[in-house]
Structure 1
Amino acid sequence: MAENKRNSVSGKLASPKPGGAQKDLADMGDVLYKAVGARVKVSVAPHNTAYEGTIFAVSPETNLLAINTAPPPPNPSTSAFSQPGNFHVIPICHLLSFTVLSPAERTEGAVDGFAGVQPPIDKLDTAALSQREEAAVRKLKEKEATKNRAVSKEGQDIFDSIARTLPCRWHEASIIVNDAVMIKPPYRVEDCQAPKDKDRSLAQVKKILEGFLARKGRSATTNNVRPAVATAIPLRKGG
């Protein structure tokens, strides 16, 4: 039974004509679609390149064939669809020859194509995909909301540094930390403000800010102003 089916499918595609009429391509695509899951050997123009593998997908609309050329699993009882993938996409019009080496595993009495392939190919969960898309967009929007193009690079760096530990948001050019502490420009320790009942939060934010400024080699209480260094004046010769 399988041998007859294999011969009949191979016979229909024994000598396809590259660049043939659209109807010929459609007929060829239909035959290939019915062989999805079968292990095949094909020759492809223009250099008569040979591929041997499992038909993974056929698209009559785009006239493309996807074939998985990975070797079959060593255990004959293992499904070919569980093997690793090494895929090639081939224009159907480039096929020179086509031979079915072994028929596809199919559900008893199933129709041709994807519907009867074993193991079954599940439908895409479009609802789950939409949720993933919405979550990704939401995450991008949240990330964009943390950027303030109206402040200096140092102000943004301070925001990012504190945000790694505590929740932050922008209020114009001021940084609001944990909805309790406000850091106004130029973002020095003395620029931190909080209500009297938020002393612990204020102390925590000041400590984080001091650490950031120390790593940057900047004074925590001045705006990048370094103390003057005395320079020795050389003695003049001759008195």
Structure 2
Amino acid sequence: MTEGVETPAEFAVGCSVRLRVEGNQELSGEIFAVDPTYKVVVLKTLGADADLPDIAILNMDSVTEIVEATPRKTAPSEDSDQLPEVDPKRGIQREARAVRLAQQDAQRIGVGVSRRGQAVYDAISKTLPCHWDSKTIVVLDEVAISEPYEVSSCRNLHDSDSPLLERVRLVMNSELVVR
């Protein structure tokens, strides 16, 4: 940037500027953010899509000339670019939901199981609710699939004959042959 000028007033957030940068390229837009510590200015420019602006992140040292600068037209409190208020309760709810979903995702991953075991679990869980009980896959609390996670490893957890056992075997045969 021009010598002797650290952070010019033209780099105030909201100002419209036309800058010349190294390589004699000109950029026009609105100052969106400035960080004098890292010598960075963020310029909001017109994008190819009229509804979405482009963002240019510039090192202040690359600015060779401030060709034109216009101060912001409105006071910051009146500016339409102000960030909306954040509802803390809604943020807490979103965080709780994200944590709950992450915990559910984590429960779907078997600890210390083989790739085949995880593949069987993933195939079964597409159509039937199941969970891990140590290294055993439990389907609807009726069928257990133990290591080595073959069709022959499926068994009923109750004495009764369950059509679910045949369904699990069918899913294993059809889903895992493809893999």
Q: What's the TM-score, normalizing by structure 1?
A: 0.57
Q: Which of 86, 89, 114 is equivalent to 2:57?
A: 89
The aligned residue for residue 152 of structure 1 is: 114
Matched with 2:18 is 41
Deviation of residue 71 (structure 1)?
Answer: 6.3
Q: Distance in 2 between matches of 1:209 and 1:125?
A: 51
Give the number of equivalent residue pairs. 175
The two structures have a TM-score, normalised by structure 2, of: 0.73
CA RMSD of aligned residues (A): 3.5
Distance 2:153 2:28 in 1: 73
CA contact 2:16–2:29 (8 Å) conserved in 1:
yes
The answer on whether the counterparts of 2:41 and 2:59 sit within 8 Å (CA) in structure 1 is yes
Aligned pairs for 1:1-239 within 5 A: 17-18=2-3, 20=4, 24-26=5-7, 28=8, 30-33=9-12, 36-44=13-21, 46-70=22-46, 83-98=51-66, 99-100=68-69, 103-106=71-74, 110=75, 115-116=76-77, 118-122=79-83, 125=86, 127=88, 132=94, 135-186=97-148, 187-188=150-151, 191-195=154-158, 202-217=162-177
- Say if 1:192 and 1:206, in contact at 8 Å, map to a contact too: no
**Amino acid corresponding to residue 11 of structure 2 in structure 1:** L
Deviates more, 1:89-98 or 1:138-147: 138-147
Please give the per-residue CA displacement for 1:13-39, whole angstroms capped at 9, x wherever unaligned. xxx624x4xxx414x2x5421xx3333
The letter of the residue matching 2:129 is P
Segment drifting more, 130-139 vs 172-181:
130-139
Amino acid at match of 2:121: F
How far apart in 2 are the matches of 1:162 and 1:63? Answer: 55
Larger strand share, 1 or 2: 2
Distance 1:91 1:151, change over 3 A: closer
Q: Structure 2 unaligned segments of length 5 or more: list them.
A: none
- Identity over aligned pairs, percent: 22
Q: Which runs of 5+ in 1 are unaligned?
A: 1-15, 74-81, 219-239
CA shift for structure 1 position 64:
1.6
Q: Secondary structure at the match of 1:162?
A: helix
